[in-house]
Amino acid sequence: MSATAEDGTAEDGTSRRALRGPVVRDALVVLVLTCALAAASGAVDLPARVAAWSAATGLPLDQAVLVLAGAHVPMMWFGARRGQQLRDEGDARAEAEARLREDARRDRLTGVASHPAFVAAVGAAHADGTVPPGPAVVLLDVDRFGEVNATLGHEVGDGLLVALAQRLSGLVPAGALLARTGADAFGVLLTGPDAAEAGPLAERIARATRRPLRVGDLCLAVDVSVGVAELPGRDAQDTLNRAEVARTAAESSSGGLCRYSPAIDTFDPGRLALHDDLRRAVRERTLAVHYQPKARLGDGRVTGVEALVRWDHPEHGLLLPGRFLPLAEQTSLVRPLTEVVLERALTDCRRWRDSGLALSVAVNLSPRLLQDADLPGRVAGLLSATGVDPADLELEITETAVLEDADRASLVLAHLRALGVRLSVDDFGTGHASLTHLARLPVTDLKVDRSFVTAMGDNPVDAAIVRSIVELAGSLGLGVVAEGVEDEAAWEGLRAMGCRLAQGFWIARPVPADDVPGVVRDVEHRIRQRTAAAGPRSLVG
């Protein structure tokens, strides 16, 4: 960095300042002694005294003066020695100061630049940020580094940071500044033409840090979140903030990398706070799950429920998924969130069964989860932990989820299906899945999107769509559930079409687990009474 010239001058200045004190002190002593001597010689008539002393001792006067002058030699020697001492002191002090300054500039453990040096360099880059595209910043952070320290010890933790710093040094261009910006955090400043490479560099860093790091005999895999501000902000602090916003978002994204964009910005403090709250709610498992019954159109029996996540927010009250799911879906929070719901749903399902209520439970899967090859294993683990029969679990996926990365998704679906879990296509009719494609997937049920069902009464086209979906499902050997049954007419219409199951506010609204047995009783009682009143002719299905 360009600080060396400034440092040289600063160094001289400091040593000169350091020397000035003792020199002034010594000069004052000499001045006082000289004054005292002059005063004394005036008072006691020094030349007469010397002459008297020469006569008394028989020493010739010129020799007496020589002796007196010779007495100055030790004084000169003393003065020279003292001067050397002061110079040595000054040098040692300057050296210590230089070392301190170097320590402040370098991180002692990893040898890369320190945090203050990084901040200063980002500031300097903005001060002369005339070269487009302007400075760019990449920040990265080791997730759960504390766990490494806690489980493997600080030495391994330190080794990990050194290994990481080495790997990063091999990635950043020669002109870039790599710094350790926190206990487990690093930053890269790119200036001039290098700045245009910030995005690709961040990608390389995210990829390279996925490979395990060797620390002694250990091979450690770490999760690293990388955020990049490819363009400078209003000032140095703003650029650093942008990179940090991106890095925080990366923490919960699947690839561990996020580029700054205004869309993910924290300038909406409510959104950021909500994200933090949600992360906590997921971690502390304080999310709630409500259940909405599905009833058989033939006899009104409630055969299962759909698990719907709810969040009882301390300030905002009970939030529906529409308010917070998109937030979770943009980040990797959706995976732990789904696991919380899945575990809760299976536990509740088991509890109902133990109390004599046999219900299947359906859990919604976000599209991203279908790209997660570990999902079937985790589902199998939860099934065996809760002792729920796989046939009692249904996983709901959307058409788009299957279309996104069809090959990977069908592999995950095949594994899930092999467990004996039912798979249904949610919101059917709204996506673009081709029927031939659907037929090849191992799905067991279709859920007709509620927009068609609610509109059925007023719109013959919607009624025709529902009818054809019901028929299609039948010919493909799939079960069919109509969602959004809001009135008796819809219930009746679906019955007449030969639809098997229905779900909707008219049957029951989603309720907490403890209310499920009571609601199931009420629903069955109400529908049975209704069908009995309507007579045997309406018992279709």
Least Å distance, CB 295 to ligand C2E, is 12
Nearest to 336, CA basis, from 249, 271, 252, 224: 252
CB 330 → ligand C2E: shortest distance, Å? 13
Using CB under 5 A as the binding criterion, the count of chain residues that bind Ca ion stands at 5
| Number of other CB atoms surrounding residue 359 within 10 Å | 19
Relative to beta strand 257-259, strand 223-229 is parallel
Return all residues near 493 (Cβ < 8 A) that are at least 6 apart: 456, 457, 463, 466
Quick one: 122 or 369, whose CB is closer to ligand C2E? Answer: 369
Residue 486 binds ligand C2E, judged by CB under 6 A: yes
Q: Identify any residues that bridge with 313 across adjacent strands, giving them in sequence order.
A: 317
CB 183 → Ca ion: shortest distance, Å? 43
The partner in contact with residue 325, picked from ligand C2E, Ca ion, none with C-beta cut-offs of 5 to 8 angstroms by kind, is: ligand C2E
Which residues have C-beta within 8 Å of that of residue 464, sequence separation ≥ 6?
none
Comparing every residue's Cβ against ligand C2E, the nearest one is 504
Alpha helices in 71-195 (DSSP H): 72-105, 115-127, 145-152, 154-169
Identified binder of Ca ion from the candidate list 396, 425, 493, 507, rule CB under 5 A: 396
Q: Taking CB under 6 A as the criterion, which residues in 66-125 touch ligand C2E?
A: none
What residue 469 binds from Ca ion, ligand C2E, none (CB within 5 to 8 A, per partner kind)? none
Whether residue 370 contacts residue 401, with contact meaning beta carbons closer than 8 Å, is answered with yes
Rule CB under 6 A: say whether 504 interacts with ligand C2E: yes
Tokens of 86: 């002061």
| Near Ca ion by CB under 5 A: residue from 251, 343, 399, 427 | 427
CA distances from residue 531 to 117, 204, 495, 526, 538 in whole angstroms, order as listed: 79, 65, 11, 9, 7
The phi and psi torsions of 294 (rounded to 5 degrees) equal -115, 130
Dihedral sign from CA coordinates of 368, 369, 374, 376: negative
Nearer to ligand C2E, 242 or 294 (CB): 294
Cα 412 from chain centroid (whole Å): 26
Q: Which of 292, 364, 386, 454 binds Ca ion (CB under 5 A)?
A: 364
Q: Does 325 bind ligand C2E (CB under 6 A)?
A: yes
Q: Which does 232 bind (CB under 5 to 8 A by kind): ligand C2E, Ca ion, none?
A: none
* Contact residue for ligand C2E among 110, 209, 292, 531 (CB under 6 A): 292
Least distance between Ca ion and beta carbon 408 (Å): 22
379 scored as a contact of ligand C2E (CB under 6 A): no
Which of ligand C2E, Ca ion, none binds 320 (CB below 5-8 Å, type-dependent)? ligand C2E
Task: Write out the two tokens for 110.
Answer: 């990893």
DSSP 521: H
Among 70, 314, 322, 535, contact with ligand C2E (rule: CB under 6 A): 322
Residue nearer to ligand C2E on the CB measure, 122 or 341: 341
The site string for ligand C2E over 436-455 (x = CB under 6 A, - otherwise) reads --------------x-----
Segment holding 446, helix H or strand E: strand 445-448
How many Å apart are CA 384 and CA 381, to the nearest integer? 5
CA 138 to chain centre: 14
For the bound state, the minimum distance from the C-beta of residue 354 to ligand C2E, rounded and expressed in Å, comes to 23
Residues at the interface with Ca ion (CB under 5 A): 364, 396, 426-427, 483
Residues at the interface with ligand C2E (CB under 6 A): 292, 308-309, 320-322, 325, 338, 341, 364-366, 396, 426-427, 450, 483-486, 503-505, 510
